[in-house]
Structure formats: C-alpha cells, structure tokens
Amino acid sequence: MTKNYDNKSDAFYSRKVKAGQRSYYIDAKTDSKGNNYIVLTESKNVDQPTGRAERHRIFIYQEDFAKLSEALLDVVAHASTNEPDFEPTSIASSEDSSNETDSLLADAEESLCIKWEDF
C-alpha cells in the first residue's frame, strides 16, 4: 500500500507491508530542522482479545540512506540464495568495511533509487 499524505500528518510518504500477524510501516518524514528521515516500524498483535500490539521502531537519517540501502540489498541478496557465507574470521575492521561499502554502492544504486521531492 502506498500513501501520499497531506499536511495533516508529519509523514509525507508511507508504505505498509502486511506479513501474517505482523505489519511493517515505512514512513518518510521531515524533522523540525527540515532534515528527511525514514521510520521503519514493526507492529505485531500479541493479545488478540484486547488488541494489544507490540511495536518496534528504527529511525534512519538521510546521511545514512546510501550505506543502509546498500547493506540491506546485500543481505537480502545473500538471504535469498540461502547460502550462508559468514565465517567468524571474515569480520572486517571498520576501515576495511567502509571500502567494501563504497565498492558495493554502485551496484546498489542501480537497484534502489530514493527521491526526495518538495511538497
């Protein structure tokens, strides 16, 4: 579900993904300083009679969009092939991982495009 919001809400774009008893919400928002950010929310019904839901939120700021989208696409690609290749000795230092992130970013940009528009 895609929804464009008007001025009544602080989210200017939102997607909802239903997955069994869980729902995922991806909201694009702007903070009071004019910076764009994304809120990922997982909502799960934990008590059917009362309708009580458990909710978890992650805030991702614009300066982290490229790094996070690249990493997410990489993990999804590996998870989709169902061939784990993690070895404890393959954990890179923070200096090594930044170079790896930059090298993979070109492929990620072809698959994912995030556009911010003034409304």
Q: What is the pLDDT of residues 92-114, one digit of tens each?
A: 444 444 444 444 444 434 444 44
d(CA 97, CA 75): 14
pLDDT at 104 (0 to 100) = 43
- When mean pLDDT is compared across 23-32, 61-70, 72-81, the lowest value belongs to 72-81
- When mean pLDDT is compared across 8-22, 27-41, 67-81, the lowest value belongs to 8-22
d(CA 27, CA 3): 10
Percent of the chain with pLDDT over 70: 61
Percent of the chain with pLDDT over 90: 47
pLDDT at 69 (0 to 100) = 94
- The sign of the dihedral angle between the CA atoms of 93, 95, 96, 99 is positive
- Residue 43 burial by Cβ neighbours in a 10 Å radius (0-12, 13-18, 19+): middle
Average pLDDT over residues 76-93: 65
d(CA 75, CA 90): 15
